[in-house]
Structure 1
Amino acid sequence: MKEDQKIIIVFLNSIPYHCAVHISSEGVFELNFLGSNLRNLDEFYNKEYTYEEFKINIKDIKKTINFFACKCMLTEKIINYERNNRGWFKTPESAEFILNYRKTRSRKYNDLNCIEWILLGLEKGGLILPNNILTANQLYKWLKINNEQI
């Protein structure tokens, strides 16, 4: 049976806000303030948000899963900003925050936002993704052009 694989874009107030990867044999991988985690699909969805899904085809699924299985935390830039501005992460503006620091994706394991972490994991599995995608909005726009929406 073929593995079901998809990127899930999470919307807050109709704005692309976050993303995750679902691999049917494993669950949903995401990076948030609790660090990298794996959840089952039913636990991931929340009525507070809306979602759009896009099919992906990871060539080396084991490499992607192994990457996602390693513990990771969000970049200190995001953690510190939230620490000083409690609740900020629940605002649509937080989704674009990383653009204050860079325009090209980080590949440093200790300096990733949630989108960079997802894309790095997908690259480990053989997908080729642009270096200028750092936010959920940028990823969503790219997926609308390059991938099949489910």
Structure 2
Amino acid sequence: MIALGCDHGGYELKQEIIKHLEGKGVAYKDYGTYTEESCDYPVYAKKVAEAVLSKECELGILICGTGIGISITANKIKGIRAALCHDCFSAEATRQHNDANILALGGRVVGVGHALKIVDTFLDTPFSQDERHIRRISQIED
């Protein structure tokens, strides 16, 4: 299951991601926000991070206007490796090398079509399990 969260700046893109996931038969849980009314992104970053850490959800996707604030917030939580990606190469590399568990997107930065390709790349790419990447992740977590 994929945890989804956004603020008002990411709401529209989150709705498109929901339709995309439903079309592919991918299970998700929406942690809000549920409107375009102005709200605070840290609330939703923390909800998604907690769902990923508790293993309620395997991975998360967070969206705010730029993706920056929501990714910074998620990365403050021990055990979260949120990666802000605006291209498929970064989405693939962060899953393979960093075992990123949350994808962050900028709803005002990437177009819908490209964002959906980034989402697919992130969700479809496994962690490499290479010893060097495991070692580096361990160093991040210390």
User: Which category describes the TM-score, using the shorter chain as reference length?
Assistant: under 0.3
Answer 1 or 2: higher relative contact order, Cα 8 Å, separation at least 6. Answer: 1
Q: Of Structure 1 and Structure 2, which has the larger fraction of its residues in strand?
A: 1
> If each structure's helix is expressed as a fraction of its own residues, which one has the higher value?
2
Q: How does the TM-score come out when normalised to structure 1?
A: 0.27
TM-score (norm 2): 0.28
